[in-house]
Copies of this chain bind each other. A is one copy, B any other.
Amino acid sequence: MINIGIVGYGNLGKGVECAIRQNPDTCLFGIFTRRDPASITPLTEGAKVYKLDDILSFRDEIDVLILCGGSATDLPKQTPELAKHFNVIDSFDTHARIPEHFEAVDASACESGKVAIISVGWDPGLFSLNRAYCEAVLPAGTNYTFWGKGVSQGHSDAIRRIEGVVDARQYTIPVEEAVARVQSGENPSLTTRDKHVRECFVVAAEGADKERIEREIVTMPNYFADYNTIVHFISKEELVRDHSGLPHGGFSIRCGTTGFNNEYNNVIQYSLKLDSNPAFTSSVLVAYARAAVKMNKEGIKGCKTVLDVAPSYISSASAEDLRKRLV
């Protein structure tokens, strides 16, 4: 049995708790939180909740920690810190800062002799895998990534910070025409605006200036200014009724050529359709938690990404069984 500790009990932590139930070779050792443990009621009856400050006293009982904090402030501190004592998995998803996060975590994990696998999930994660496999098997080609249709929590948060906004939900939507052009093998050049539309459902405070709010959204740099953005004002009730889920998904596509004179076109497409983004990300985290434990038992140490992990490590099946059933 693989004893898993969950660090942080938000959507992702709850997702890990659920995913452990689906993997009979794993079990939930406990949940670690910065909050008062008594304030937390786990979904699983009898599950233990501990103070994060006490985690080192469980060093010998836990096989791997899954860190469920955010990439902005939690993980850059927690992952290097906890990799000094535990095998760890995180879903660090600030793409531009992955190299520096890797270096910090690698230093800790090499010193402790543990395995840390960072940036696990679907993007970064399964989409990273597809981009890497595709580039290697079709070197003459182009990768395209489309996200959605799905809720972007970062963009929803950005809208909520605008004065006069009570709540908001933002959907990232791939432009169908752009996806179709890529799928056809045309190898098009696409701008940011060509690829995605952003649709926002906003609850405004009573008496708030909706024109100003809409203007502030659509002109917001980085988040919305480079996109075609649609804003709908709705009631609090409508938001709760129609937009409570966290669905997501997307497409990672490569178009590339083969043949002596690049005469053959090829399209590789990997796509996801997820009812719940955090539940699926958590399920990927648990599979890689298994890999970290298996790799560490073989004497492997240091920081890894999904690209460094052979697929057989994430499976609970034996190598013989995998060869027989899945190769």
Contacts and interface: CB of A to CB of B under 8 A. Distances in A.
A131 B322 CA distance: 10
A267 B260 contact: no
A287 B137 contact: yes
A57 to B, nearest CB: 29
A310 interface: yes
Interface stretch (A62-70, A74-82, A122-130, A214-222): A122-130
B140 A22 contact: yes
Interface in A256-291: 258-260, 263-276, 279-280, 282-284, 287, 290
Interface residues of A, number: 72
A264 B267 CA distance: 29
Contact of A312 (B272, B290, B307): B307
Contacts of A326: 128, 131-132, 135, 143, 307
Contacts of A324: 98-99
Nearest to A17: B260
A135 B315 contact: yes
B270 A258 contact: no
B307 A311 contact: yes
Given A136-B315, A139-B316, A264-B275, 19 more contacts: A15-B258, A18-B260, A22-B140, A22-B258, A131-B326, A136-B311, A136-B316, A137-B280, A137-B283, A137-B314, A185-B273, A258-B275, A259-B276, A265-B275, A266-B273, A269-B272, A271-B271, A307-B327, A309-B310
B258 A280 contact: yes
Interface in A297-319: 305-312, 314-317, 319
A55 to B, nearest CB: 25
Given A280-B266, A320-B99, A133 B129 contact: yes
Contact of A95 (B137, B143, B322, B327): B327
Interface in A175-229: 185
A102 B309 CA distance: 21
Contacts of A317: 135
A-B residue pairs, 5 tightest by C-beta: A264-B275, A258-B279, A136-B287, A136-B314, A264-B276
A121 to B, nearest CB: 10
A315 B132 contact: yes
A119 B327 contact: yes
A19 interface: yes
B133 A311 contact: yes
Contacts of A59: none
A130, A185, A258, A316 pick with most chain B CB within 10 angstroms: A258
B258 A21 contact: no
26 contacts: A17-B260, A19-B258, A95-B327, A98-B324, A98-B327, A99-B324, A124-B327, A126-B268, A133-B311, A133-B314, A136-B287, A136-B315, A137-B314, A139-B316, A143-B326, A259-B279, A263-B275, A264-B274, A264-B275, A266-B273, A267-B272, A268-B270, A305-B322, A306-B311, A307-B311, A308-B319
Nearest to A264: B275
